Amino acid sequence: MTTLFLTDAEATRSLGVRLGNCLPAGSVILLEGDLGAGKTTLVQGIGEGLGIEDAIVSPTFTLINEYPEGRIPLYHLDLYRLEPSEVEVLNLESYWEGAEFPLGIVAIEWAERLPYKPQSYLYLRLSYSPESGRQAELVSVGNFDWGALAQDLGQAKDLPL
């Protein structure tokens, strides 16, 4: 596990930009963190890194927002209003299995509500820091592929590779 200190919203966004720049198609990012911890801000950065020009808005009411126009597609989900039993019938695997939708980056807010998980994913937990800003904890699970992120961040000892 790696812990990053994100001093302000721009730092949260710029972590997202790096993920969006570098992660390969098929990446799943499971986001957890209290209300207002910065999950949507991070996904907005991912959109910027992918070159998506549309505004990324929280899909709390629409559940899934799809942005096909960047380097690879972005699928942004928010499970806040759902019970695990409701999530189960949504067939969310179709977003990371690659058969029904073109593979891209799948970013899921409130991922603790997922009753099942992909085999490999980046777990990213945001929490309020005791002083100010936020902390991010990153854990790669399974064979999560860091893609070009490994080169982008290769010199940084504080990041997971």
Residue ranges that bind ligand ATP, judged by CB under 6 A: 6, 8-9, 11-12, 33, 35-41, 58, 109, 133-134
How far apart (Å, rounded) are the C-alpha atoms in residues 120 and 145? 8
Are the CB atoms for 146 and 140 separated by under 8 Å?
A: yes
- Per-residue burial over 42-63, b = 16 or more CB atoms within 10 Å of its CB, e = otherwise: bbbbbbbbbebeeebebbeeeb
In the bound state with Mg ion, the residue whose beta carbon lies nearer, of 97 and 112, is 112
Task: Give the range of 22-30, 47-55, 58-66, 147-155 binding Mg ion by CB under 5 A.
Answer: 58-66
As to burial, measured by CB atoms within 10 angstroms (0-12 exposed, 13-18 middle, 19+ buried), residue 82 is middle
Closer Cβ to ligand ATP, 26 or 67, answer by number: 67
Beta carbon of residue 46, minimum distance to ligand ATP (angstroms, whole number): 12
Where in 38-57 is the site for Mg ion (CB under 5 A)?
39-40
Q: What is the contact surface with Mg ion in residues (CB under 5 A)? A: 39-40, 58
